[in-house]
Amino acid sequence: MAAPEAGLQRLCDRTLPQVPPDVLGLQYDRASTRVGIVHFGPGAFHRAHQASYFDRLLERDAYRAICAVSLKTASLRDALTPQDGLYTLVELDEAPTVRVIGAIRELLVATEDPAAVSRRLCAPDTSLITITVTEKGYCLDGGGELDFEHPDILHDLRHPETPRSLVGWLVRGLHLRHQRGLGPCLVLSCDNLSDNGPTLQRAVLAFAARRDDALAGWIEKGTRFPRTMVDSITPATDAALRSRVAQALGLQDSWPVQRERFSQWVVEETDFAAQPDWASVGVTLSRDVSAYERAKLRLLNGAHSTLAYLGLLAGLETVAQAMAQPALRAFVERLMIEDIEPTLTGEDLVAYRRSILRRFENPAMQHHLAQIAWDGSQKLPIRLLGTMADAIRAHRPLMRLALPIAAWMHFIRAKAATSTPIVDPLGDQLAARGRRTTGDSRHDLPMFFDLPGVFPTTLTHDAGFVKALGGAYDLIALRGALAAVASSDTRQEQ
């Protein structure tokens, strides 16, 4: 049977008037908008989250349209250029909403047209640069500083006019603005990176200083890198979503996106004059973003990764299925209450935790655990290992925190055993180690500890950490994920 969208006209500016009235359309004249934002990494999360905020902002500020820049891949450009950058956002809830987003006015691929990216970065209208390139896109070393041995950074130092890395592009754009007497930009990292704004600023200044001390000084004086926190669960686009959108629009959309209705964006207060009117579209301005960020990374993202690795080992596919397992749901809630919340301060953590659990149980969401499991070597240090280090310093039990980390190792073992590609910047190294594992912690853990930039030596040299992780690893190997979870409380160790 042909897909429901087969034979339909394509969503684009010309066909936009055909969208049915029950679909939320644009509330502004798209032709009168101007690009004022450059976004690096226009994946599903950006298009479901930040672009939807900017879409609403265009109703009152016509200079906030987006130039979406993919650093290397052309797939999004190829999908959305025939649609004039239009796409559909489905908000998943008991009563879902379907909305057309028109904020993206230009799509570029940096490797194919570096000159166009350079022109956009130094355009007078450009005042805001936003970023969602995931943790691995920052080219950082294990200490969170710019890795000057990274192949992309080495290339960009030799060829600054045609960068490959995010940091190289930021310095390229700011260098051109400095040369032409233009003002600096507001640069917003929206990635799940601890202390994301200052971390990016350090990387940019370190790279710029290798080129020109005066440029580094100009960037440090005028460019702002505020901390941010973003939150909205965004399942991957699949055939079911495309069919659903085709039925709702009566038009074909090659790359719609979906997310839960809940959405949060927190931006650190800064003195940058040309920033948007954030509050008018529901963005929270705060002097202390770190409390929001830390709670989100540890409570939501840490729990997500826990469900992903333990759930996949148990043969489950989605977050909702994992939450429907009583032992697993109880484990995650207790992990949040007893092991994660004691490391946090700030907002009402009890209310936040309860809201996260409700979101995980949302029956309208089909968030695949495999998607959450990607890039574990980059995510675990931020989502779980930092909590583990805090627990060690406070002399709290470690077994519950050790289980999801051990489950990740067994996830790698399972992938390697079936020669399934591992989606991770360290995929080849993980596969090689996975093939050599035996299921015995004494043999296997040292191989994982030797991975670059994952396990800090402060943990791997701590006897309590090694004992707890080894016990969790052997327990999963012996009894399986769900049985290990069910018995975790009786095995909680100091």
pLDDT digits 0-9 by tens, 453-463: 899 999 999 99
Distance CA 208, CA 143 (A): 19
Strands (E) located in 216-277:
228-231, 257-260, 264-268
The packing angle between helices 213-222 and 166-179, to 10°, is 90
Distance CA 72, CA 68 (A): 12
Distance CA 144, CA 195 (A): 10
CA proximity to 296, closest of 265, 330, 253, 339: 265
Chain segment 76-128, per-residue pLDDT in tens: 999 999 999 999 999 998 889 999 999 999 999 999 999 999 999 999 999 99
pLDDT at 494: 42
H, E, C per residue of 137-169: HHCECCCCCECCCCHHHHHHHHCCCCCCCHHHH
Distance CA 465, CA 477 (A): 18
Distance CA 323, CA 326 (A): 7
Task: Print pLDDT tens along the chain (494 aa).
Answer: 334 466 899 999 999 999 999 999 999 999 999 999 999 999 999 999 999 999 999 999 999 999 999 999 999 999 999 999 999 999 998 889 999 999 999 999 999 999 999 999 999 999 999 999 998 899 998 788 999 999 999 999 999 999 999 999 999 999 999 999 999 999 999 998 889 999 999 999 999 999 999 999 999 999 999 999 999 999 999 999 999 999 999 999 999 999 999 999 999 999 999 999 999 999 999 999 988 989 999 999 999 999 999 999 999 999 999 999 999 999 999 999 999 999 998 768 999 999 999 999 998 888 999 999 999 999 999 999 999 999 999 999 999 999 999 999 999 999 999 999 999 999 999 999 999 999 999 999 999 999 998 999 999 999 999 999 999 999 999 999 999 999 876 555 44
Contact, 288 vs 346, CB < 8 A?
A: yes
pLDDT at 347: 66
Distances in Å between the alpha carbon of 112 and those of 47, 72, 151, 157, 164?
22, 8, 19, 19, 11
**Residue 36, phi then psi, degrees to nearest 5:** -130, 0
pLDDT at 143: 83
pLDDT at 142: 77
Q: Which residues contact 457 (CB under 8 A, 6 or more apart)?
A: none
Contact, 391 vs 397, CB < 8 A?
A: yes
Strands (E) located in 150-227:
186-189
Contact, 162 vs 72, CB < 8 A?
A: no
pLDDT at 310: 98
Distance CA 214, CA 174 (A): 12
CA dihedral 361, 367, 370, 372 (to 10 degrees): -80
β-bridge mates for residue 100, sequence order? 88
Place of tokens 């180690």: 433
pLDDT at 2: 39
Contact, 297 vs 195, CB < 8 A?
A: no
